[in-house]
Structure 1
Amino acid sequence: MNFDAFDLHPHILDAVSARGYQALTEVQVQVLPVAMQGKDIMACAQTGTGKTAAFALPLLNTLSKQLELQQSDAAVESLGEHKAELRVLVLTPTRELAIQVAENIQAYAQFLPFKTAAVYGGANMNPQRKAVQAGVDILVATPGRLFDLIGQFDLDLSNVNHLVVDEADRMLDMGFVRDIEKVKKLVAREHQTLFFSATYSDDIKTLAQKMLIAPEWINVATAPTASRITQEVYLVDKRRKSELLSELVGRNNWQQVLVFVSTKEGAEHLHTELKLDGVKSAVFHGDKTQGSRNRALEEFKSGKLRVMVATDVAARGLDIEALPLVINFELPFAAEDYVHRVGRTGRAGLSGRAISFVSPQDKDMLQEIEQIIELTLPCITLPGYEEGAPLPARYRDVVTKAVKEKSHNKRKYQEKRRSESKPRQGDGDKNRYGRSKSKAK
């Protein structure tokens, strides 16, 4: 089915054509007609399935029709200048997703007069504030920055009659439920709400039932991970993971690898290890400034970097065209996040590959993941990397150094405590006010 099968405005069809879109994806086929009717929707669809177009195109079409009614017949064909008014609000959990969604909507609206802006934390608020105050029709926002604008600059949401909650499951994970509930109270009383989630948990269903009115339930997530993604496990001693990663990157001449770790500290440590091995890499996590994250992402996309080491902040919202490979250096804390990590590859109908490094202590989490994705992943052990294999000298030295430093620091700490417990010269016998008893008399 093609986009012209729906009653979309010609300018929207022109924009879709300019983007090179042809046949609709499954989520677009199911969501478009329902969203165009103004109904509330709870849609479950994996990342990379065309969700943004699924909700953005019908909303742009609705704004276009409303504008046509307001303008004279002479201006209808051109959809001329109009005074921007905030009518559509899209909530996203992360900065990267907010930026990506806003860029996509701007592309879909390139032949329309509607203005779109993105507001998110980790960046200067002034340019964002000015953009919003200059007038926008569509605002894409992370909850924190949205409430900054509401609290500090009286941003008015009372005319918003289309609310989109993207990656609703991630919003729940990050504790944004109350923020969503607050937003629902601030928008127009009669409004359309569209929920999109990559997973269909009980919590998501409960929230949807609470916040949506007679919603249409759409589930196109037929498989927890796409069949076009090859998934496999490398069994490896935990201490040898960084060495194995460097060897695989070098041996296979991989040029673009997104590597997931569980913590910011782990990301920085792995980045250091890769530098020692001569592998060009960058880190991407929540403590990095937005500018640093953008720079790392652009260099990774352009091929200047072979590896980008990221925490789960990159598991959603990053759209890297034709990313060939994702590696789970460490399995996620929550099994559901595996789906989102793997979803960075194999997007837009392309094939992809996902590799997970698994140590004996990771076996329980691996079983949880396999239950969710309904697959038993093939396991590979490279000679020399199995559990109990002798450590190379480089790693023995590192371990020995760490033990010595720990012992040295412990001795220093104990010596400091002993010195602090001894009375200092001149302290003598003091009363509770710090004066010597002799003077107090």
Structure 2
Amino acid sequence: MNFEQLSLTSQVLANLNECGYSELTPIQQQAIPVAIKGQDLMACAATGTGKTAAFSLPIIENILKAPKTNALKALVLTPTRELAIQVGDNISRYSENTGLKVVTVYGGASFNPQRKAVMAGVDILVATPGRLFDLLGQGALTLSQIEYLVIDEADRMLDMGFAPDVEKVKRYLPKQHQSLFFSATFSSEVKKLAAKLLTAPKSIDVTSKSDKPKIEQFGYFLDGRRKAELLAELIGKNNWRQVLVFVSTKEMASRLTKELKLDGIANDVFHGDKTQGARNRALEALKSGAIRALIATDVAARGLDIKSLPIVINFQLPFAAEDYIHRIGRTGRAGQSGQAISLLSETDKPMLTEIEQLLGQKLKLSTPKGYEPGSKLPQRYQGSLSIDESKQEKYKKPFRKRNDNRASSKPNSMQKKRVDNGSKWKKK
């Protein structure tokens, strides 16, 4: 089924064609006709399956066909700022040159510009819960004439503790409105939340019908102190140009980015302490090829859409097994193939067991030659603190021993430069 068969506005069809859209995905085929008719919808679909178009195209179409007013018509709630930005950008592309105004608001960015944009008039608002209530509290926004409410990534909303906020939003809305509820899972908690928000909804579940992500999952078992060394070797020897590397803490992200830069691998970090602008720039650098690796905490496990991302690496396993699913879901999207590689040491075994139980399968494990646990460490690693100990928040020693006469971690042209896989130093 193609988009022309939906009888969408000619400009919207032109925009979709410009985006490269032709055939509808399974969730789009089932959700769009229901949503256009005005029925509440409870939809379960995996990330990367076209959910944003599935809920936004009916809203755009119905707003365009209704009499023009200056009131806010549609509210899309997302759990994270990254997802809000992505959804807002997509809706703006779908509605380009239609006269509709789309505004995205989220925390971690300056409040006043967002407030002014909302007060200047908006048709479709994409928001995170916290920033939405900031605007409502200051009287910069009213939801009294909302006709469409979308809850995106409902399961993540629950994970992040936003269920009370989502229920609270309902109280700001008029009695008559349409609610579209999207989630990657239909757990009992998700269903309870949906029951409070929806009225006689149509239920759609395409997770069992969609093609499963083609993700090859395996792990390397090694001494935890040599994970950084192996990661650098894998990126270099395989000439990987676009890798998303997950760590468990911001501290580890900062340490690992320095290690990779010493090995000549351009990279950047992505975590909660970075400003939204810095995070956006880091993400764009990975997409454009300006950097080869993005070191991220679990704030990147949801909502990020990197087209054709080939490889996800778990440098450290997550604290919750469910987050492993979301991490590896950044690759193998929309029917494409990808690899999910986990670097594992002895302390990772308990979490690995939980992950394998959740997956219902065992990960294929191997040990790269020369990285066997218990083997003698290279001189530069001897005496360093293991990077996979249970308490990872603070580190008192570097990964590697540094020469005492080396004054800076950023050598200039007159300083020493590492060669031969980092084992020797010589004058440049």
The TM-score, its normalising length taken from structure 1, stands at 0.84
Matched, 1:26 2:12: no
Q: Write out aligned runs for 1:71-86 (5 A).
A: 82-86=68-72
Q: Give the aligned partner of residue 389 of structure 2.
A: none
Q: Give the aligned partner of residue 63 of structure 2.
A: 63
1:310 to 296, 311, 320: 296
Question: Secondary structure of 1:229's partner?
Answer: strand
The TM-score, its normalising length taken from structure 2, stands at 0.87
Deviates more, 1:116-125 or 1:381-390: 381-390
Question: Secondary structure of 2:79's partner?
Answer: coil
Q: Deviations over 1:214-262 (max 9, x none)?
A: 2222111228993422221222222221111111011111111000111
Matched, 1:234 2:220: yes
| Partners of 2:74 and 2:146 within 8 A in 1 | yes
| Partners of 1:223 and 1:373 within 8 A in 2 | no
Q: Give the aligned partner of residue 412 of structure 1.
A: none
Matched, 1:265 2:259: no
Paired AA for residue 352 in structure 1 = G
Q: Give the aligned partner of residue 113 of structure 1.
A: 99
Matched, 1:179 2:162: no
Q: Give the aligned partner of residue 13 of structure 2.
A: 13
Q: Deviations over 1:255-300 (max 9, x none)?
A: 1100011111121121122122221111000110111111111111
1:221 to 169, 193, 207: 207
Q: Give the aligned partner of residue 38 of structure 2.
A: 38
**1:343 Cα deviation (Å)?**
1.5
Q: Write out aligned runs for 1:49-198 (5 A).
A: 49-66=49-66, 70=67, 82-198=68-184
Q: Deviations over 1:42-82 (max 9, x none)?
A: 2111111101000001111111221xxx3xxxxxxxxxxx5
Question: Secondary structure of 1:233's partner?
Answer: strand
Percent identical: 59
Matches of 1:140 and 1:111, distance apart in 2 = 19
| Partners of 1:43 and 1:196 within 8 A in 2 | yes
Matches of 2:396 and 2:23, distance apart in 1 = 60
| Partners of 1:84 and 1:115 within 8 A in 2 | no
| Partners of 1:257 and 1:306 within 8 A in 2 | yes
Matched, 1:333 2:319: yes
Higher helix proportion (structure 1 or 2)? 1
Matches of 2:8 and 2:43, distance apart in 1 = 21
**1:305 Cα deviation (Å)?**
0.6
| Partners of 2:316 and 2:344 within 8 A in 1 | yes
Question: Secondary structure of 1:398's partner?
Answer: coil
Structure 1: gaps (5+ residues): 71-81, 406-441
Paired AA for residue 12 in structure 1 = V
**1:162 Cα deviation (Å)?**
0.8
Deviates more, 1:155-164 or 1:6-15: 6-15
Structure 2: gaps (5+ residues): 387-394, 399-428
Q: Give the aligned partner of residue 393 of structure 1.
A: 379
Question: Secondary structure of 2:150's partner?
Answer: strand
Deviates more, 1:303-312 or 1:216-225: 216-225
Q: Give the aligned partner of residue 379 of structure 1.
A: 365
| Partners of 1:224 and 1:339 within 8 A in 2 | no
Change (3 A) 1:4 1:303: same
Change (3 A) 1:111 1:373: farther
Q: Deviations over 1:366-412 (max 9, x none)?
A: 23323333333221211222322222211114349x8899xxxxxxx
Q: CA RMSD in A?
A: 2.0
Matches of 1:56 and 1:346, distance apart in 2 = 24
Paired AA for residue 61 in structure 1 = E
**1:9 Cα deviation (Å)?**
2.2
Paired AA for residue 46 in structure 1 = A
Q: Give the aligned partner of residue 208 of structure 1.
A: 194
Q: Give the aligned partner of residue 47 of structure 1.
A: 47
| Partners of 1:236 and 1:357 within 8 A in 2 | yes
Matches of 1:156 and 1:227, distance apart in 2 = 40
**1:348 Cα deviation (Å)?**
2.8
**1:8 Cα deviation (Å)?**
2.1
Aligned length: 390
Matches of 1:17 and 1:225, distance apart in 2 = 23
Question: Secondary structure of 2:190's partner?
Answer: helix
Q: Give the aligned partner of residue 403 of structure 2.
A: none
Matches of 1:274 and 1:403, distance apart in 2 = 19
| Partners of 2:167 and 2:196 within 8 A in 1 | no
The structure with the larger Rg is: 1
1:244 to 210, 213, 230: 230
Matches of 2:46 and 2:206, distance apart in 1 = 8
Paired AA for residue 8 in structure 2 = L
Paired AA for residue 292 in structure 1 = A
| Partners of 1:300 and 1:307 within 8 A in 2 | yes
**1:181 Cα deviation (Å)?**
0.8
